[in-house]
Chains A and B, each alone.
Chain A
């Protein structure tokens, strides 16, 4: 059978619900975090970012929360729409690293 590693964590919600996607990051030296959205067949697109000196940042229908104590990041999407269906990645900038370090992603499925 297929390896478990091939399957992304999946969050299934109904249209209009609020969605919360979680991410645990690895390094206390991370100073910057970004959420990306990747639709099928496309490249990742920037959604929202947050610096490590902040706990919360809001955008249009999206909010990112950062809990540095437990190294946890979450993305909240209000009034989720079918067009929000995609894979969502968190990424962290670890000071001294050459590029962002990406999580494995969570698939969000929105049913009409």
Chain B
């Protein structure tokens, strides 16, 4: 039982490049989330998907897009990366009782 799996674990981009972070969960959860974590800022919600076929903006959505491909998969895309998007990105899925399960994180550096 893998839980929440994120790829890639590490990525270095140049300003203006695009990339997609992939996330998959095998716990049959309806809700999935993308967070970013920066020093001293805690976890900030970028986008979430309450159920398959729906997505909504979180606290810091600018510069990102998401796709809920199916119940298992929720991807995060950076269309034109900026140095301000250097961060650690976490995908999570949520149980019906409210607990969040997190992936191991994707560490992105934008030069």
Judge whether B48 and A99 touch: CB under 8 Å.
Answer: yes
Judge whether B39 and A42 touch: CB under 8 Å.
Answer: no
Judge whether A98 and B42 touch: CB under 8 Å.
Answer: no
**Could you tell me the distance between the alpha carbons of A49 and B102 in the complex, rounded to whole angstroms?**
16
Judge whether A43 and B40 touch: CB under 8 Å.
Answer: no
The yes or no answer to B94 lying at the interface (CB within 8 A) is yes
CB distance from B85 to the nearest CB of A (A): 18
The yes or no answer to A28 lying at the interface (CB within 8 A) is no
**Could you tell me the distance between the alpha carbons of A103 and B42 in the complex, rounded to whole angstroms?**
7
Judge whether A98 and B102 touch: CB under 8 Å.
Answer: no
CB distance from B23 to the nearest CB of A (A): 11
* Given A34-B99, A42-B105, A43-B104: A102 in contact with B40 (beta carbons within 8 A): no
The yes or no answer to A25 lying at the interface (CB within 8 A) is no
**Could you tell me the distance between the alpha carbons of A91 and B104 in the complex, rounded to whole angstroms?**
18
Judge whether A89 and B40 touch: CB under 8 Å.
Answer: no
* Given A43-B90, A99-B33, A99-B45: A32 in contact with B98 (beta carbons within 8 A): yes
Task: Give A1-31 as 1s and 0s: 1 = Cβ < 8 Å from B's Cβ atoms.
Answer: 0010111100000000000000000000000
What residue of chain B has the Cβ atom nearest to residue A4's Cβ? B40
**Could you tell me the distance between the alpha carbons of A99 and B40 in the complex, rounded to whole angstroms?**
20
What residue of chain A has the Cβ atom nearest to residue B31's Cβ? A99
The yes or no answer to B64 lying at the interface (CB within 8 A) is no
**Could you tell me the distance between the alpha carbons of A45 and B94 in the complex, rounded to whole angstroms?**
13
Within 8 A of A (CB), among B1-50: 4, 31, 33, 39-43, 45, 48, 50
* Given A42-B105, A98-B56, A99-B58: A89 in contact with B42 (beta carbons within 8 A): yes
| Contact sample, A vs B, 14 pairs, CB 8 Å cutoff | A5-B40, A7-B40, A32-B97, A42-B105, A43-B4, A43-B105, A44-B43, A45-B102, A89-B43, A93-B98, A98-B45, A99-B33, A104-B40, A105-B42
